[in-house]
Amino acid sequence: MKLITLAGPPSSGKTSIAIRTLQLLREEGLRAGVVKFDCLTGRDGERYRAAGLPVLSGISGNACPDHFFVSNIVDCAAWGHEQGLDLLLSESAGLCNRCAPHIRGLYAVCVLDNLAGVDTPFKIGPMLKTADLVVITKADIVSQAEREVFAHRVRQVNRKARILFANGITGQGAWEIGQLWRDAAEDDELTGGRLRFSLPSAVCSYCFGQTKIGHEFQRGVVRRIEIPGLETGGEQEQAQ
Amino acid sequence: MNPLLDDPSLGEFFRLNGLPQPQPHVRLDDYWQGLAWQQRDLGGWTLDSLADALVSFMAARNDPAGSPVRLCSLQILAGQAKDGTPETQDLNFLPGDVVCIVGPTGSGKSRLLADIECLAQGDTPSRRRVLVNGLEPDPEWRFSSEARLVAQITQNMNFVMDLCVGDFLCLHAESRRLDDPRAAADRVLAAAVDMAGEPFAAGTPLTQLSGGQSRALMIADAALLSPKPIVLIDEIENAGVDRNRALRLFVEKGKIVLLSTHDPLLALSGSRRLVIRNGAIAKVVEASPEDRRYAEELARLDRGMATLREAIRRGQAPAEVWPGLGF
């Protein structure tokens, strides 16, 4: 079974692109399914089901979605094998942009939309930097010049990735994406495999459910903003 | 790999990544040693990932996006209509050609533009095949948007970036690795203002341009800055843009222009027009001397309309500038 990770900012068009592409692949005889990782509620599972694609939805809730992803992907892959899938797409929204769900040796896709600012590719971090394919959506409503500048910005961050413009509404570009997904790697070596980028350690008191504001409620590793002229206790401290 | 971080263009790399600017003559290893761990931790950097990010940044600069080939001809081999009836004619376009596409809404004008955009190889509903310089294009080009040969201008497009015109054009010129991006940006701006009728400046925010100004800037940019040798235009609406001047700009730059339009002035301004019916190219009309005379007369009327528009906006009565109607 091919396992592909698909990541990108919320509302960039991941699900629309995925549905268009997987429907084409299904017409070519491939059995494709999806695992969708969301942070709070999400209705994308229903969209996949409505498109006739087997889907597993996971809500990370209090946990960081990328940690949730890596703690569960092995079981999800097992589910995919059980379903007899030829291709399992793991879709997750990048939330804080610090992490990426991409796995070494498996095909990694990042979806960005062209309405984002010119500096966005630099803010997206590892889910863009370590991707094999970058799909740019919503380019039909921006100028040709902005497309070219945006693609250049993406290349400045990730020179190795393929860049494709696609339209999740009309399906333009989905055929090309599908052909690339057909050639994606198999997932045989998942256990013992490695993420392409480390996930941060979540060890402050807020990670464990604290809601009260103020220094005395902070535990663990606390990073302080630098404010000129104001003593904030250094950039980093180990609170008790 | 331990490069010297002296290249002035790297300043932007450190700025965009929120890292401190390197001291003069410092090498990557020493720069890395000098970073506080918090700064390294901020982007999840390692020495290797920082080196790799620098290579990416420089590669994008040294290997500008461009057309993979010098385009000498573009051929469209006949396909079929929606009902399967074969098209009768192959077409060959050369640099500087302006080809107008006419036909009712839904007749298949956009399909033809899309076939060219994706370099169709008999695998679209029209079954047309597109040849570049007489050869089947490298299949790899389909899988890289930057290798595509086509720039597009449509009615749905807007500028959305929060930048002023001058900075944006500079950014586009830099992405092409032009020697003097500022001068290139100035040329585009001058050409756009020339077409737009209403002047705007380098400091005007992109998002504040009027419809006509935006369209003029898109046209000037596609003609002068875009590396794409083919320009597909889905209707240039009459938003005060000097459409003849726009077409001349593309011709001077040796672009192949395909223009889908309902506007008789534009439709008669091309060297050829394709009449689309039921998904097929039903007729190819070479522009006759008579067509050209009509186009000239329409252009004259169009200029009259522009003068009238201006006069009315200034508060004048129409008869002051256009008394000829004889009411």
| pLDDT value for B32 | 92
Q: Which residue of B has its CA nearest to A125?
A: B43
Q: Which helix (H) or strand (E) holds A17?
A: helix A14-27
How confident is the model over B79-85, as a mean pLDDT? 92
> Does residue B176 form part of some domain?
yes
SS3 A149: helix
Tell me, yes or no, whether A215 and A97 share the same domain.
Answer: no
Reference A176, options A185, A186, A188, A163; nearest CA is A163
Domain boundary among B52, B68, B91: B52
Shortest CA gap A157–chain B (Å): 6
Pick from A144, A151, A162: CB nearest B218: A144
Cβ–Cβ below 8 Å for A115 and B152: no
Mean pLDDT to the nearest integer, B105-112: 90
Q: What is the mean pLDDT of residues A90-98?
A: 81
Give residue-wise pLDDT tens across range B1-29.
788 888 888 888 898 888 899 988 899 99
- The Cα of B156 is separated from the nearest Cα of chain A by a number of Å equal to 5
Same domain, A70 and A176: yes
- Assess contact for B222 and B172: CB atoms under 8 A: no
Distance from CA of A78 to the nearest CA of B (A): 31
Say which of A141, A151, A235 has its CB closest to residue B145.
Answer: A151
Q: What is the mean predicted confidence (pLDDT) over B153-168?
A: 91
Domain shared by A170 and A231, yes or no = no
Say if A120 falls within a structural domain: no
- Mean pLDDT across the stretch A190-207? 77
Contact state of B17 with A122 under an 8 Å Cβ cutoff: yes
* pLDDT tens sequence across A24-43: 999 999 999 999 988 777 77
| Statement to judge: residues A103 and A220 lie in one domain | no
- Residues A174 and A62 grouped into a single domain: yes
Question: Between A204 and A145, whose confidence is greater?
Answer: A145
Count CA within 13 A, CB hemisphere, residue A85.
29
Q: What is the pLDDT of residue A235?
A: 47
Contacts of B20 in chain A (CB under 8 A): none
Of B55, B142, B226, the CB nearest to A176: B142
Domain count, chain A: 2
Is residue A177 in a domain? yes
Q: What is the mean pLDDT of residues B202-226?
A: 93
Rounded to the nearest integer, the mean pLDDT of chain A is 87
What percentage of chain B reaches a pLDDT higher than 90? 50
Q: Are residues A48 and A6 in the same domain?
A: yes
pLDDT of residue B239: 66
Tokens at residue A181, please? 């997904």
Residue with more model confidence, B177 or A129: A129
B210: containing domain: 150-227
Q: Is residue A223 part of a domain?
A: yes
Report if pTM > 0.95: no
Which stretch, B72-76, B154-158, B172-176, has highest mean pLDDT?
B72-76
3-state secondary structure of A232: coil
A155·B60 Cβ contact <8 A: yes
| A126 vs B contacts (CB less than 8 Å) | 44
Which domain covers residue A12, as residue numbers?
Answer: 2-108+164-182
Mean of the pLDDT values across residues B43-66?
A: 81
Q: Which helix (H) or strand (E) holds B277?
A: strand B272-277
Q: The tokens of A239 are what?
A: 């609170």
- Looking at the structure, tell me whether residues A54 and A94 fall in a common domain: yes
Beta bridge mates, A136: A112, A165
Question: In whole angstroms, what separates CA A156 from the centre of its chain?
Answer: 20
* Torsion angle of C-alpha atoms A157, A162, A168, A172, degrees rounded to 10: 140
| Domain match, A67 and A172 both | yes
Q: Tell me the chain A residues in contact with residue B13 when contact means C-beta distances shorter than 8 Å.
A: 156
Question: How many other CB atoms sit within 10 Å of the CB of residue B86?
Answer: 10
Mean pLDDT of B224-245: 84
Q: Is residue A129 part of a domain?
A: no
User: Least CB-CB distance to B221: which of A145, A158, A159?
Assistant: A145
B215 falls within a domain: yes
Task: Give the whole-angstrom CA distance, residue B92 versus residue B89.
Answer: 10
What tokens appear for A85 in the block? 């899938």
Under the phi-then-psi rule, with left for phi > 0, alpha for psi from -120 to 50, and beta for the rest, what region is A200?
A: beta
Q: Does some domain include residue B324?
A: no
Number of structural domains found in chain B: 2
What residues pair up with B265 in beta bridges, in sequence order? none
We report the CATH number of the domain holding residue A9 as 3.40.50.300
A224 lies within 8 A of chain B by CB: no
Q: What distance in Å separates the CA atoms of residue A162 and residue B301, rounded to the nearest whole number? A: 49
Region B103-114 average pLDDT = 91
Q: What residues form DSSP beta bridges with A89?
A: A4, A34
The residue type at B264: P
B110 touches chain A (CB under 8 A): no
User: Under a CB-based contact definition with an 8 Å cutoff, are residues B181 and B170 in contact?
Assistant: yes
Run of H or E residues at A50: helix A44-50
**Contact between chains at B156 and A151 (C-beta distance less than 8 A):** no
Q: Cβ contact (<8 Å) for B143 and A179?
A: yes
pLDDT digits (tens, 9 = 90+) for A221-237: 777 777 777 765 544 55
d(CA A117, CA B159): 11
**CB spacing of B44 vs A115 below 8 angstroms:** no
Q: Tell me the mean pLDDT in the region A119-141.
A: 92
pLDDT level of residue B66 (50, 70, 90 thresholds): low
Q: Give the tens place of pLDDT for each residue, B271-327.
A: 999 999 999 999 999 999 999 999 999 988 888 888 888 889 899 998 888 887 666
C-alpha dist (Å) from residue B292 to A10, B297, B300, B307: 52, 9, 12, 23
Hey, what are B295's tokens?
């186009």
Collapsing DSSP to helix, strand or coil, A7 comes out as: strand
- Looking at per-residue pLDDT, the higher value among A15 and B41 belongs to A15
- In angstroms, what CA-CA distances link A85 with A63, A89, A91, A186? 28, 10, 16, 11
What's the whole-number mean pLDDT along residues A177-197? 87
Region B111-118 average pLDDT: 90
Inter-chain contact A118–B57, Cβ cutoff 8 Å?
no
Q: Classify residue A94: in a domain, yes or no.
A: yes
Query: Does residue B2 lie in a domain region?
Result: yes
Q: Flag whether pLDDT at B257 surpasses 90.
A: yes
The answer on A225 and A168 residing in a single domain is no
Domain end, chosen from B193, B227, B261, is at B227
Q: Nearest C-alpha of chain B: how many angstroms from A138?
A: 10
pLDDT of A222 reads: 75
Cβ atoms A92, A209 nearer than 8 A: no
Is A233 found in the same domain as A173? Answer: no
| Residue ranges of B 173-192 with Cβ closer than 8 A to chain A | 175
Residue, of B258 and B62, whose pLDDT is higher: B258
> In terms of domains, do A74 and A27 share one?
yes
Query: 3-class SS at B281?
Result: strand
Rounded distance between C-alpha atoms, residue B19 and residue B42, angstroms: 9
Calpha distance B66→B148 (Å, rounded): 9
Closest partner CB to A152 (pick from B53, B65, B169): B65
Closest Cβ–Cβ partner in B53, B114, B172 for A148: B172
Please say if the pLDDT value at position A189 is more than 80.
Answer: no
Give the span between the Cα atoms of B205 and A143, in whole angstroms. Answer: 15
In a domain, B25, yes or no: yes
pLDDT at residue number B245:
87
Decide if pLDDT at B116 tops 80: yes
Is residue B119 pLDDT above 70, yes or no?
Answer: yes
Name the band, by pLDDT with cuts 50, 70 and 90, for residue B65.
low
Report if residue A197 sits inside a domain.
Answer: no
The reply to whether residue A157 touches residue B43, judged by beta carbons under 8 angstroms, is no
